[in-house]
Structure 1
Amino acid sequence: MITILETSALNTVQDLGRPGYRNLGVGTSGVMDPIALRAGNILLGNQDDDACIELQTYPFVLRFDTAGSFAVTGIDAEIELDGRAILPWMVETAAAGQVLRVGPPRQGARGYICIAGGIDVPAVLGSRSTQLRGGFGGLDGRPLEAGDTLRSGGIALDVAGYGALPPTVALDTATDRDDARLIHLRAMPATDYTLFTPEAQERLWHVHWRITPQSNRVGYRLSGEPLTLRHKVELRSYGVVAGIVQVPPAGEPIVQLADANTVGGYPRIATVIEADLWHLAQARIGTRIQFHECSFEQGVAAMQPVNAYLDDLRMMAAHYRSSAHRRAGGRTGAKSGDKA
């Protein structure tokens, strides 16, 4: 069990989401940065889809009521366990009664507290993700509050002190080397691309769009010189997924994200590829974005380095745990897998 001692708005329980129900009007939800969740679960030996706590606002403080291993991923921040500084992207083990504090990020926007065995809340439509707009999933369909208790896996691993190289380092980062407030995103022209004027098409790829405060898990609203249509159009509603870039009448794009609407009717000018969506999850308000045109084939191929990163991490974590168990067995005669 863990108890929430301090939290601000919009911190929730999330997993990889609930696909397959958009035809019923139920969005996918799930973490904004799936790579961060997958990495944390790999480090802890969890199932790929085990639930975590997604942090959007800080500081966040919880108490381990029972011993448990954990990792904080997604961000670089000041993290303390009973006042002792610990590193992000590393496996640590807390004793019963110890307090974990996650401060505001130095880099990144959304942090993920992954706990060995996952967060155990009731599954709704096959997922433990919180759907705030629908008021279901997670903990009673709402953000976490001080005083809340969550049932966790309660697993204290007998191996700790190992971690992952953050994907911003391990993968080719989208952040501009000369300007940390500019990120580059690959996108494919979408169904309604040709409805926009040639000038608007050109502008899409060359303007530095800025993430506005009117942004959230549903979508990021971008500011910049408006994109104009060749002529006014009325479109039938269509299915919406994360990554679609819609252009409402004002002409400033909206990038749909984890809590995207299930249907929409604004013209679709582009779609951000899946391999780059996690960069948006870690982009703060005010960050500037530049889109770069790519093909469908390039978008599919862009997932290969991501999958390779996770596969390498999975092999590393398994090897580390196996080696540590062999060393412990040689010293003490303990059987591999014995808990400390």
Structure 2
Amino acid sequence: MKSFSTHSSHIPTEYEFKHSKWIKKMLRAYWVVVITHFVVQIGCFLFLDYDRTPEDFMIHVLFWPTASSIASILIASWIDRRFSSFSFYAMSAASTVVAWTIIHVNYDIRIIQAISLLPIFTSVLFFSKKRVWIACLMQTTGYVLVLFDSGYRSYLTSFDMVSIPAFLIVGTYVAQVIVTSGVEVLDDLKDSMLAKQELIVRNAIMTKQSKTDGLTNLYNQSSFKDYYDKAYEYAKSGMSLHLALIDIDDFKSINDTYGHRVGDTILEKVSLVIQENITSSDIAARYGGEEFALLMFEQSFEQAYALVEQIRQKIALMGHLELEGEPITVSVGLKSFSARLTKEKLFEEVDACLYAAKRTGKNKTVTSLDLVQV
């Protein structure tokens, strides 16, 4: 039998993903720097006066500097793939090797010392003061190591010996200022985004509250009228539409006998039954008091009738502790859209069906067909 490991693999966070992406970009950039330096050195040797022999040039200017730089980049790339938590340190070490190799080869060009700032300012991308200081420490280490070369050391003046470390410290300070400013900007942006999200959520809540009834969580009368107007226009273009009005029987006596708090509980229970039985495309609203309105789409009249009957029967079968175990009933009026009816006339006829249900015994669903038979 095969055994399966229960250990879940680590899923990189968005920050870690961006961190890795920048590491890879910088390592690719160092490849460009090394190749550019290699090409420039060949061009200088071929077209400018060069005080080195071809053999010395090939070994000490091209081969060893390029080989050490390439090796450092390859090692950093390998560490990035295998040990991502050490990626930054590997990248910084590679950049130190590349920078100080170029400086060592071209120490007679004074401006070349500025390359040592490249790794320091690269560390700014990670918005970490600690990483800026690590980059500074590595560049200082690189400087100390090249001092062991007597040729390079003899070229430096006493001023150079002091100014280069000072140059690195000042560059690090500037990088620190950039990091601090960047972090502040990011914090401000984050606060702004959070405030915006809060505002969106608050507006969404307010919009929902303005459209729904606070007690039943169904749409309120105002929202229903808006949906009814739109549904009527859609029905005129061929979409099926059925309108039902549902009214709790003898609701006034419930309020008078048991109080308005119990009445509110009954309203909540009835609205819950309605919500649980309508389809996702239907619209239910508390139209007023104990009356509910229901718009049904994408179904036949028989299906709409079966749906409201299901709601009515489920309500009739419920017992209520608030009413000492007694049930309640609802009456329903139902009618389908007809092109001959205005939206006002359609509503009036559904209301007439509801009135007929009340008048002829309650706890029933009356449709326009029933009215014609009467």
For the criterion TM > 0.5, the same-fold answer is no
Structure with larger RCO (C-alpha < 8 A, sep 6+): 1
TM-score using structure 2 length = 0.21
Structure with bigger helix share is 2
Larger Rg, first or second structure (1 or 2): 2
